[in-house]
A and B are shown apart, each in its own frame.
Chain A
Amino acid sequence: MSSYLESTARERLARLFDAGSFQEFLPPSSRIVSPHLGQLNAPVAFDDGVAVGRALLDNRPVFVAAQEGGFMGGAVGEVHGAKLVGMLRRAILKAPDAVVLLLETGGVRLHEANAGLIAVSEVMRAVLDVRAAGIPVIALVGGANGCFGGMGIVARCTNAVIMSEEGRLAMSGPEVIETASGVEEFDARDRALVWRTTGGKHRYLLGDCQALVADSIDDFRAAAIAQLETTISPALTLDALEQEQALLAARLENFGHVREPYDLWRTLGVPDPEALPLLEAEAFVALVDSHRLGAR
């Protein structure tokens, strides 16, 4: 078993998809690097921190992207974003069975913030265009940097999110919240608190992710294949969006005042919430499946 968390983006691509099937668009040898970082005298990466291309998943053609968390926290710059958008738009032309996004990112790259913000909004639009074309988009979140900022929103624009407990998914990261609102609001150094508010288990209980797996590339692969095989729902219709809006509004109404995830889990009827962080993924899913909020 190889750890998803510990692997690089390229190792994940090599092991998660069928052996040898990944074909990269704009590989590192094309040297399409950030035009901004050099001006700031900062190091560049030959792939600008993301690999995009096509691959086979259980013999089915998919388009894929993998963000490298090791390079600037997987942050989205102009080229990085353009590669994601280009891959997504090409997917609409080529109609693969799905698009699989291996997200690991702190959000927009602050060195090129304006270009990055525009890029992230273009990625959102492109993801929705792919879905509107009837092609499901699956997001995998299990890297050490989690999935934050605008890319956290991108993850929730997809059909399905697969996470590990170690993966984290949110808008503002813990340190951003602490900086903006004070340590009384959120203690970013309290790692247990960070994980029970943004980690995979909490997201699974809230219905923000559709599958929770152990930190293993094989398990992520199996879960991605399972998502390919199930009917991908919901369709991108006004009705479905309104249903989700209602679900989110109810969530805010019911839990907006809750300060501590343990209390939220208790309210959901989960027995012994304090024990949840210690459970292995499989045992956790078995225990909480009947209590989690309606997955969208």
Chain B
Amino acid sequence: MEHLHYSFTGGTRLLDRQADVVGVVGSGNLEVLIESVAQDGACSIDIDTAAVGFGAIWQAVMVDFHARWQLADARIAINDMGATPAVVSLRLDQAVETMLKGQP
């Protein structure tokens, strides 16, 4: 297992709902827990992944994610079981969309 932490500032988009989880911790998949938490406008992302040694790719995917959504006061936690970068991006988008549309 490897733990990675990212924090982005400068985002402006606030989440509408308190918390939700999408995805499942299964092979090639991941779960994304997304929460609306006051943290001086930052968007923090904590990742626990079973695939060790892919920090540079995670960094690129997270930078892309922040550029897409510009989240503020969002706390994201990921449990990953070897998902590909494309799956990670889709799950993150799904998580944000779930929090913005106000759907359960």
Chain A positions near chain B (C-beta within 8 angstroms) = 8, 10, 14, 20, 22, 27-29, 31, 38, 41-47, 68, 70-71
Residues of A within 8 A of B81 (CB): 43
Residues of B within 8 A of A29 (CB): 18-19, 21, 33, 35
Q: Is B79's CB under 8 angstroms from A44's CB?
A: yes
Asked whether A43 and B33 contact (CB < 8 A) given A20-B104, A22-B104, A29-B19, the answer is no
* B50 interface residue (CB < 8 Å to A): yes
Least Cβ distance of B75 to chain A in Å?
A: 9
Encode B58-94 as 1/0 by CB contact (under 8 A) with A: 0000000000000000000101110000000000000
Chain B residue nearest to A30 (CB atoms) is: B19
Chain A residue nearest to B29 (CB atoms) is: A70
Q: Is A28's CB under 8 angstroms from B1's CB?
A: no
Q: Is A47's CB under 8 angstroms from B50's CB?
A: no
Find residues 6-61 in chain B having any chain A CB closer than 8 Å to their own CB. Answer: 18-19, 21, 24-26, 29, 31, 33, 35, 48-50
Residues of B within 8 A of A68 (CB): 24
Residues of A within 8 A of B77 (CB): 31, 46
Given contacts A43-B49, A47-B21, 12 further A-B contacts (CB under 8 A): A8-B24, A29-B19, A29-B21, A41-B1, A42-B50, A43-B1, A43-B25, A43-B50, A46-B77, A70-B24, A71-B24, A71-B26
Q: Is B25's CB under 8 angstroms from A70's CB?
A: yes
Q: Which of A14, A22, A47, A70 contacts B26 (CB 8 A)?
A: A70
Asked whether A71 and B25 contact (CB < 8 A) given A29-B35, A43-B48, A46-B77, the answer is yes
Residues of A within 8 A of B80 (CB): 43
- Compute the total of residue contacts between A and B using a CB distance below 8 Å: 51
Per the bound structure, the CA–CA distance linking A68 and B24 in Å amounts to 8
Q: Is the interface of A mostly helix, strand, loop or mixed?
A: loop
Q: Is B25's CB under 8 angstroms from A45's CB?
A: yes
Per the bound structure, the CA–CA distance linking A44 and B49 in Å amounts to 10
Chain B residue nearest to A28 (CB atoms) is: B21
**Count of B interface residues, CB-CB < 8 Å:** 19
Which 8 A-B pairs have CB atoms at the shortest separation, nearest pair first?
A70-B24, A70-B26, A28-B21, A29-B19, A45-B25, A71-B25, A43-B50, A43-B81
Residues of A within 8 A of B1 (CB): 38, 41-43
Per the bound structure, the CA–CA distance linking A46 and B26 in Å amounts to 13
Q: Which of A22, A41, A45 contacts B31 (CB 8 A)?
A: A45
Q: Is B33's CB under 8 angstroms from A28's CB?
A: yes
Least Cβ distance of A16 to chain B in Å?
A: 13
Per the bound structure, the CA–CA distance linking A68 and B77 in Å amounts to 19
Per the bound structure, the CA–CA distance linking A29 and B37 in Å amounts to 11
Interchain Cβ contacts under 8 Å between A and B, 14 examples: A10-B21, A22-B104, A28-B19, A28-B21, A43-B49, A44-B79, A45-B24, A45-B25, A45-B31, A45-B79, A46-B77, A47-B21, A70-B25, A71-B26
Per the bound structure, the CA–CA distance linking A71 and B79 in Å amounts to 11
Least Cβ distance of B27 to chain A in Å?
A: 9
Chain A residue nearest to B18 (CB atoms) is: A29
Per the bound structure, the CA–CA distance linking A46 and B18 in Å amounts to 16
Asked whether A46 and B104 contact (CB < 8 A) given A70-B29, A71-B26, the answer is no
Residues of B within 8 A of A38 (CB): 1
Per the bound structure, the CA–CA distance linking A144 and B21 in Å amounts to 22
Least Cβ distance of A162 to chain B in Å?
A: 23
Residues of B within 8 A of A8 (CB): 24
Per the bound structure, the CA–CA distance linking A29 and B34 in Å amounts to 8
Q: Which of B35, B79, B104 contacts A43 (CB 8 A)?
A: B79
Asked whether A46 and B31 contact (CB < 8 A) given A68-B24, A71-B24, the answer is yes
Chain B residue nearest to A19 (CB atoms) is: B104
